[in-house]
Structures are given as structure tokens and as C-alpha cells.
Amino acid sequence: MKNESVWLGVAVLALSDANPKREEGFVGAYAGFASKAATIWEAVAALAREFDENGFYLLGFENMLPAECLDRELTTYERELLRATEEYPVQFKDVHLHKSDG
């Protein structure tokens, strides 16, 4: 069995054309996440699939580290996401949408 880490961070997203919120003028978003995987590559691939299934394109990250490498206490939100990875390996709850600057 591979050693797995829970990767925590903030994803930068774009709304796909199929996302109904695009009709309201929203084009982008960000979301805190937890992704349980053996490598960063596996964590990113799982995140991309999960966000795609929810109407978003994964553009990049504001930050992303294994939970055990953080040099601070986890936030309540991060602890909730981390615990939830025991049930399903990719977790995010709050997706913050934004409209275009134009």
C-alpha cells in the first residue's frame, strides 16, 4: 500500500461553458480543497476530474502542500476537509465565484 498524504490548498478555477452560473456573468472561482493521494500528480489529477464534474476547469493553485508540511495550525475548514477524505479522497465545500472585471 502506498503512503498517502492529504494535500491542502486553494484552487483557482474557471467556469466551464456548461456551468449554469456563467449565464449570471460568473467566469472564475476559487476553492479550498483537500485531496488524498500518494503523489502531487495524483492529487492534481483527482482534483481536475472532480472540479470538471462540477462545471469548473482547474487553472492552477494559490498554494498546495501536504497537511503534514504546513508550519501552522489547520483552520477549522481544513480540519473538516481533511477528516472527510476518509470517506472520499477529494473534498471541497465552498466555491467562491467571481464575475469578469470587464
pLDDT at position 1 = 45
How does 40-78 read in b/e, with b if 16+ C-beta sit within 10 Å? eebbbebbeebbeeebbbbeebeebeebeeeeeeeeeeb
Question: Cβ-count burial of 32 within 10 angstroms (0-12 exposed, 13-18 middle, 19+ buried)?
Answer: buried
Residues 6+ apart with CB under 8 A from 95: 13, 29, 30, 31, 54, 56
Instruction: Give me the pLDDT at residue 101, please.
Output: 73
Alpha helices in 14-68 (DSSP H): 40-53
| Residues in the chain, overall count | 102
The whole-model pTM stands at 0.90
pLDDT by residue, tens only, the chain of 102 residues: 478 999 999 999 999 999 999 999 999 999 999 999 999 999 999 999 999 999 999 999 999 999 999 999 999 999 999 999 999 999 999 999 999 875
